[in-house]
Structure 1
Amino acid sequence: MRRRAWDAVGIALFVVLVFPVYWMVSTAFKPDDEVNSLTPTWFPTSPTLDHFRDAMARPYFWDTVRNSLIVVCAAVLFSIVLAFLAAVALAKYRFTGRKLFIGAMIGILMLPPAGLVIPLYVVLARYHLTNTLTGVTLTYLTFVLPFAVWTLRGFILGIPKDLEEAAMVDGSSRVGAFVRILLPLVAPGLVATSVFAFITSWNEYIFASVLLSDQSNQTVTVWLSYFYGTSRNTDWGALMAASTLTAVPVIIFFLLVQRRIMFGLTSGAVRG
C-alpha cells in the first residue's frame, strides 16, 4: 500500500508537470472557435496547421531563430571548452588562489540574473557591444560558464587517478593519457553540461530583451513576448504554436545527444 501510494504521488506530480506542455501543444492545433470557447476542449476535434503558418509568417520570426541559434551555439561551444580546461585545472592541480576561484564561482551562481543586468549593460555599452549578438553571447557566458565549470569538476574528480597513472606507466604520455583515458570518461559530463547550457541559453529572456533593441537582432524568446502586446484579443492559437516551435530545437538537441550520454556511461574503464 505504501508503494502504491508513492506511485500515485509520482503519477500525480508527473501529470501536473506535463499538463501545461500538453495544453500548449494541443492549443496550437485547435481552430479558433475551440481556442476561444468557454468550454475547454481537451483534444482538438478538427486539427489545423493554420496557427503554425501564421506564426512562421510573422515578421522577424526566421531572423530571430537564426539569431538564437548563433548565440546559443557560440555560448555552448565556448562555455564547454573553457569550462573543461578550467575543471581539469581545478580537479587535477593545486595552485595559488584555487579555493578563492571556487568560492567566486559559487558566489556567481548564487547571484540572481536580474542583479547583473545593469553592470553588464554598462560594461558592454563602454565597448559598444550592446544591441549585438556578440555582447549577448558574452553575457550568456557569465551564468553558463560557472555552472559548467562546477559540474565538470565533479565529473573529473570522480575519475580515479590510477587510470591515468597506469596509462603513463604503459608508455603513454600525459597528453595521450588525457586524450585516451580522461576525455572518453568525462564525455557524459560534457554532454550533460552542454544540454544544460543549450537549454539555459535558448530560454533566456531578461538579458536579451535589455541588450537587444532592434527587432532584427533579437532572439526568439524576445520575439515571442510580442504576441501579448496591449490588445485585449490575444491570438492564443498562434502564440501556442510559436511557443511549440520555440521548444522544438531544445527537443531535437536533446534527442541528438541522449544516446551519447548512455554510451559514455557504459564505456571506458567500466567496460574493461
Structure 2
Amino acid sequence: MKRSRPANKIGLTVVYLFLIAVSLWVLFPMWRVLSVALRPGDRLLSTTLELFPSDATLQNFKAVIQDHDLLLWLWNSLIISLTTAFLGVSIAALSSYALSRWTFRGRNAMLIAIFCTQLLPQTAMMIASYLMILKLNLVNTYMGIIIAYSIKAVPFSIWILKGYYNTIPREIEEAASIDGAGQVRILYRIFLPLAAPALSIVFLLNFMSGWNEYLFARIILQKSELATWPLGLTRLSGQFLTSWGDFSAASLIIAVPVVVLFLFSSRYLLSGLTLGAVEG
C-alpha cells in the first residue's frame, strides 16, 4: 500500500494539471471578450494580451444600454424564455406521470412518436410551425413565438421527465393511498416534490433553448419592438463595420441571467440529467 501512494499522488497531480489547463482554455475566450469590452474605441483591434487594458473604461457598456435597445431585447427574451420553460414543464409534468404510471391503449405508440420528434431537426418543423402560427394570426406576437418554441420543448420535457418518474418507487404512492390520500393529492404533495431535480433541469434546458434561439424568432418576430437579444445583436454588426466593443459588452450583459439561473439550479443539474436518462 505504501508503494502505491506516490503513484496516486502523481496521478492526482496529472489530473489537476489537466483540469487547470482545460479551465484556462475555456476561460480564455471569456477573458478576451471582457478585455475587448473594456477597451476604448481606438484600441479595439489591439493584439496585446494584458489581463486588463491599462486605460479600461465602461463606455462600451454605457453605449450599448443607452444607444441601443439592449434592455428591451433582454426583456423580450426573458418573457418568451420563461413562459416557454414554464409551459413546457407544466404540460410535461402531468403528461409524463400518465405515461409513467398508467397503462392504456396507444401508450407505446405515443412514446415512439414523442421520441421521433426529438430526431427531427428544428428546421424540418419550421415551415409547418410558421404556417400554423400564420393561420392563427399570431405572427409578431409573444404567443406565436412561444407556441413555436413549445412545439419542441414539450415533447423533449415529456421524454426526460418520464424517464425520471420511472425511477421513483411505486411503493411511496401505494403507502400514501393506503393512508387515504387521493390521486391528485399524491401527485401534487408527494410525487412532484420528489421529482423536483428533474423538473428543475427540464425548466433550465427549456429556458436555454428559448433564450438562445434565433431562426424561429427571425421569421416570426418581424417588429423591432419584439426583437429578442439574438435578433438585436445582429444590428450591432453592419455590412462594412462591426461595433466590437458594444458587441462584447452586450454579450457579457446577456450572460448574466443565464449565470444566475445556473447558480440557482446547479445542485439539480447533475442528478436531474443522470436519473432522467436511466430509463426510457
TM-score (norm 2): 0.85
Q: Is the 8 A contact 1:60 1:215 kept in 2?
A: no
Amino acid aligned to 1:253: L
Structure 2 unmatched ranges of 5 or more: 1-9, 273-280
Q: Does the aligned pair in 2 maintain the 1:155–1:189 contact within 8 Å? A: yes
* Residue 151 of structure 1, CA deviation: 1.2
Counterpart check, 1:140 vs 2:157: no
AA aligned to 1:215 is S
AA at the equivalent of 1:247 = A
Post-superposition offset of 1:66? 2.0
Whole-angstrom CA distance in 2 between matches of 1:16 and 1:142:
36
Instruction: Report if aligned partners of 1:131, 1:214 keep a CA contact under 8 Å in 2.
Output: yes
Letter in 1 for 2:190: I
Contact 1:76 1:194 survives alignment (8 Å): yes
Farther-moved stretch of structure 1 (27-36 vs 99-108): 27-36
Q: 2:140 aligns with which of 110, 127, 131?
A: 131
Identity %: 31
Inter-partner Cα distance in structure 2 for 1:70 and 1:145: 17
Amino acid at match of 2:227: Q
Residue equivalent to 1:249: 257
The letter of the residue matching 2:71 is W
Distance 1:123 1:180, change over 3 A: closer
Q: Distance in 1 between matches of 2:33 and 2:154?
A: 31
Q: How does 1:231-242 map to 2 (within 5 A)?
A: 231=240, 233-242=241-250
Q: Return the offset for 1:6.
A: 4.0
Counterparts of 1:8 and 1:147, CA distance in 2: 37
Instruction: Tell me how far 1:86 sits from its aligned partner.
Output: 0.9
Which one-letter code corresponds to 1:180 in the other structure?
A: R
Size of the aligned set, in residue pairs, is 262
CA RMSD of aligned residues (A): 2.1
In the alignment, the residues of structure 1 paired with residue 140 and residue 52 of structure 2 have an alpha-carbon distance, to the nearest angstrom, of 42
Q: How far apart, CA to CA, are the structure 1 residues paired with 2:129 and 2:94?
A: 25
Cα distance in 1 for residues equivalent to 2:32 and 2:209: 23
Matched, 1:112 2:121: yes
